[in-house]
Amino acid sequence: MALLAFAFASRARGDGLVSGPFAFLEAPPPAPPPAPPLPAREGDEYPRRSWEFFPEAGLGAPLCRGDALGASHCGDNGVGSVFGGGALYRVTPYVALGGGVSFATFHLDPSLRPGAYSQANFMGFLARGYFADRGAIDPYVETGAGRGAVVMGGSEGEVDVRSDGAGLSLLAGAGIDFWLTPYLKVGSALSYRWTWLTDVRTCDARACATAPVADRGAVGSYANLSFVATLALGHEM
């Protein structure tokens, strides 16, 4: 009875609110604690994807075959442009296999030979090794083997002359890509392509003749620095 009387007395205030030791019953509930941050979406971690398709463009420096290896042989071949591309299947996040092509055109002084041109091409198998399975940075090394071909030509008087050769070609390179979206990355690559040339065939309007590369000279290899954009498709790895 004493407890009921005490509770009744506690309501003597005119505003109808409970006073006394039971006032907490009328108080609003406390504010909830702040929610924890949402976990990062898997896409923000840039998981690797199974297929990669890439074009590339850059500058190439010829290293020529002849009496000696070096950039000064092969007459007046100079730095030129390189375009190419390829496709890779990423077997694991660390290994990719596929193929690629490269087309290089080197600068020649047209005053020395009208209409002069010099080109080197590569087509073959590629293999890449990557160093990271996730993250915004994707560095790699690569190697390859295929067919390399060189073509040179120009005018001698009123006669067009063309020289060409082909052989086994090997590739070694390295690059680094930066993911912009889960499907696109851009970066740069440095590579060197070496073609085993033994003979060079030269043709004019009258006939064709074959000579050792040591006598004729040819762009047996070239190094290139390229900008690469890669489209990544397929399932996440």
Of 125, 128, 129, give the one whose Cα is nearest residue 148.
Answer: 125
H helices of the chain, in order, are 2-9, 213-216
pLDDT per residue as tens digits for the range 169-184: 999 999 999 999 999 9
pLDDT per residue as tens digits for the range 68-117: 444 444 656 778 899 999 999 999 999 999 999 999 998 876 666 667 78
Of 235, 225, 229, 234, give the one whose Cα is nearest residue 54.
Answer: 229
Greater pLDDT, 69 or 55: 55
Domain boundaries, the chain: 48-144+171-192+220-236
pLDDT score for 20: 59
**Mean of all residue pLDDT scores within the chain:** 82
Q: What are phi and psi of 119, to 5 degrees?
A: -135, 150
| 22's tokens | 């039971």
- Residue linked to tokens 């590739």: 171
Q: Is a pLDDT exceeding 50 seen at residue 131?
A: yes
Q: Is a pLDDT exceeding 80 seen at residue 16?
A: no
Of 166, 143, 138, 157, give the one whose Cα is nearest residue 206.
Answer: 157
Of 100, 54, 62, give the one whose Cα is nearest residue 81.
Answer: 62
Q: Is a pLDDT exceeding 60 seen at residue 122?
A: yes
pLDDT score for 200: 81
Per-residue confidence band for 204, with pLDDT thresholds at 50, 70 and 90:
confident
Q: Is the dihedral of CA 208, 213, 217, 219 positive or negative?
A: positive
Q: Which of 2-6, 19-23, 33-37, 129-133 has the lowest mean pLDDT?
A: 2-6
For domain 48-144+171-192+220-236, give its CATH number from 3.50.50.60, 4.10.640.10, 2.40.160.20, 3.90.1150.10: 2.40.160.20
Per-residue confidence band for 161, with pLDDT thresholds at 50, 70 and 90:
confident
Q: Is a pLDDT exceeding 50 seen at residue 165?
A: yes
32-61: average pLDDT: 83
- 156-177 as b/e: b if 16+ CB within 10 A: eeeeebebbbbbebbbebebeb
CA distance 177 to 189: 9
9-25: average pLDDT: 54
pLDDT score for 36: 80
194-211: average pLDDT: 83
Greater pLDDT, 5 or 236: 236
Q: Which of 6-15, 16-25, 147-156, 167-176 has the lowest mean pLDDT?
A: 6-15
pLDDT score for 50: 96
Coil, strand, or helix at residue 133?
coil
